[in-house]
Amino acid sequence: MVEIAVIDYDMGNLHSACKGLEKAGAKPKITDSPREIEQAAGVVLPGVGAFDPAMQQIRRRNLEKPIKEAIASGKPFLGICLGLQILFEASEEGQQEGLGVIPGQVKRFLAEPNLTIPQMGWNQLELTQTDLNLWKGLPRQPYVYFVHSYYVQPLETEITAATVTHGSQTVTAAIAAGNLQAVQFHPEKSSLNGLKILANFVKKVSKNENLRE
């Protein structure tokens, strides 16, 4: 059973993410220790809340360097919800600089008649990187669970792995670039489709760990 570090920066329900990873066959470990993040076979960066407090907490706990080093190391890395957004350079939600791992911005949904902001509830993904291991075994337009008012807008559009349409706006719902993958929705709240996504990530971690041994 592979050990996956779930980064604790006091933003979000870490236990829900851990429960989903356990069901998917992993051994999750909640941690803010740079050493434990470095030693883990894979890393998950979850998050619920606002951009600025998240970045303030990451810097207060000296986690910016360990996160960037984990991504640069090539080990499987999964960002979830706010954990996707803070990978970017900046957000319209606040003033703090993001981690800047991914060039691009975090944008707010534009107001439309009868459009609910935040987007809260089930919506369908349109998979754009259809051969991505994370999507293996899913239908072409799987339903997943969202709670967000902001979305990411990567500068390099080819890293978009899935989109979602809310009102008239079609936006990035997931990104993938090598070992780095991140999703705007909550797989741990997305029933069987979410569990399948987490299981696919755990399989990727296991395969990567076996190659290292």
Q: Please indicate whether residue 81 is annotated as part of the active site.
A: yes
210 band by pLDDT with thresholds 50, 70 and 90: confident
78-137 confidence digits (pLDDT tens) = 999 999 999 999 999 999 999 999 999 999 999 999 999 999 999 999 999 999 999 999
Instruction: Tell me the C-alpha distance between 63 and 135, whole Å.
Output: 29
Q: Is the pTM of this model over 0.85?
A: yes
Q: Which of 18, 81, 148, 166 is catalytic?
A: 81
Q: Which of 134, 190, 124, 193 is nearest to 161 (CA)?
A: 134
Q: Is the dihedral of CA 17, 45, 38, 199 positive or negative?
A: positive
pLDDT at 213: 57
Catalytic residue selected from 18, 148, 166, 186: 186
- On the CB side of 23, CA atoms within 13 Å amount to 17
**Tens digit of each residue's pLDDT (9 = 90 or more) over 9-36:** 998 779 899 999 999 999 999 999 999 9
Domains, the chain: 3-212 (3.40.50.880)
Residue identified by tokens 């050990």 is 3
- pLDDT tens per residue, range 44-81: 999 999 999 999 999 999 999 999 999 999 999 999 99
Burial 36-46 (b: 16+ CB within 10 A, else e): bbeebbbbbbb
Given 15, 92, 188, 213, which residue is catalytic?
Answer: 188
User: Is 166 annotated as catalytic?
Assistant: no
pLDDT band at 212 (very low <50, low <70, confident <90, very high): low
